[in-house]
Amino acid sequence: MSVGWQFNTGPIVCLTSALVGMLISTMPVGAQTLAPSVTAADLPRTLAYAPDSKPQPLRVVVLLPLENPQLRRAASIVRDGMAAVFATRKSEIRVVDCAYGVAGVVQAYVRCVTPDTDWVVGPLGRTDVTALALAKLEMPKPTLMLSPLGSVPPEPMTVLSPDLESEAEAVAQQASDDACRKPLLIEAADAMSSRVSVAITAYWRERSVTPLPAISLPSRNGWRRAADQWRNDNVDCVLFAGGGAVLTELRPYLRSMAVYVTSASFETSLDRTVDWTGIRIADAPWIVDAERAEFAQYLPAAALAPTLARLYALGVDASRLVIAAGRDSLPVSFDGAIGQLTLKDGQYRRQPVIGEFRERTLVKVGP
């Protein structure tokens, strides 16, 4: 056991008083009044050995659906991102993996969380997050949940999620900053596109005096005619809510228009974006600004497709936030891999960054 030097001053004060009394009592009466005063500083100091008081490792329960066939892949990528961060702080963190399946997230929480647990990270998936938030837990611990809840989470739970809505607002703001005079919102036919479209519309309505007409994308054989009509109407920018495959096919018809998208459109590798030059996207810094120095130590062994890379970045941020909090509160503001994060009402609000595609590369726009 390592030891360190520690001054033991309490007993010295008592010993000093006794020694002073003894010295004075043995002097002749006349000399007592002439003797110089004796203080603790005049006496030898004693040293004592004491064990180092090293802090106990932070105990983190990782609660992920690694036994759920539908979510196993996503959960394992999030876990990889967390592991990359925890690996740099091995002596400071004790990780307890707590896997669960299709059901049983609450039971897994109860099974794995103990009185000495400092943090729980997870679950992943809206259904599991909701189930845990509604559960009557006997021993709730600070928990960082990794999917949206749709309401303010109960204490001591916090939500961290790379939502599409924040990206939709960011591209709408960017289009406005770029002086879009005649914008058009184009929505493809899928549930994710609807979320993007609704968020863009709401943001634009509240913050811009310029109307934002919206249309559903017609069938493919009508794209040329539709694009000609958009040009006749002087449409100069398109806010696109749809997937990457549709965007790649639609792009040739939008040559004279600026195009703005969210991460919902960027699902494939950069090698497949040769025709996307000039398109602007709101996405995670991990995707857009991958060369940032603070990310270097956490990079995965092999490159990941954008969808998986965002999950990996979520794991990176979850573990970095827990380390930053320690046994205290989560940081209110945090420069994360999924965006600039601000904690409000138990949820991290996310500000993504803007990037632009340039011949199979993605570069950050602005500072």
* Residue-wise pLDDT tens digits, 99-144: 999 889 999 999 999 999 999 999 999 999 999 999 999 999 999 9
- The pTM (predicted TM-score) of the whole model is 0.83
* Residue-wise pLDDT tens digits, 218-270: 999 999 999 999 999 999 999 999 999 999 999 999 989 999 999 999 998 89
The residue extents of the domains of the chain are 3-51, 58-161+296-325, 165-283
pLDDT score recorded for residue 29: 41
Structure tokens at 143: 């928990």
pLDDT score recorded for residue 282: 98
- Proportion of the chain above pLDDT 70, given as a percent: 86
pLDDT score recorded for residue 115: 97
Compute the distance between CA of residue 146 and CA of residue 83 in angstroms, rounded to an integer: 16
* Residue-wise pLDDT tens digits, 139-194: 999 999 999 998 999 999 999 998 999 999 999 999 999 999 999 999 998 888 99
Angle at 243 (CA atoms; ends 242, 244), nearest 5 degrees:
130
**Which of 26-30, 36-40, 82-86, 208-212 is predicted most confidently?**
82-86
Compute the distance between CA of residue 248 and CA of residue 328 in angstroms, rounded to an integer: 47
- Kindly report the average pLDDT of the chain as a whole number: 87
Structure tokens at 349: 């609000």
* Residue-wise pLDDT tens digits, 43-53: 444 444 455 56
Cβ neighbours of residue 155 closer than 8 Å, sequence gap 6 or more: 140, 346
Binned at pLDDT 50, 70 and 90, residue 55 comes out as: confident
Q: Is it true that domain 165-283 has CATH number 3.30.2290.10?
A: no
Structure tokens at 159: 């939500």
Closest by CA position to 73, among listed 304, 348, 296 = 304
- Same CATH fold, 165-283 and 58-161+296-325? yes
pLDDT score recorded for residue 16: 36
- Proportion of the chain above pLDDT 90, given as a percent: 77
- The domain defined by 58-161+296-325 folds into Rossmann fold (3.40.50)
Q: Is the dihedral of CA 107, 108, 112, 114 positive or negative?
A: negative
Which residues does residue 335 pair with via DSSP β-bridges, in sequence order?
Answer: 340
Which residues does residue 349 pair with via DSSP β-bridges, in sequence order?
Answer: 342
* Residue-wise pLDDT tens digits, 310-340: 999 999 999 999 999 999 999 999 999 999 9
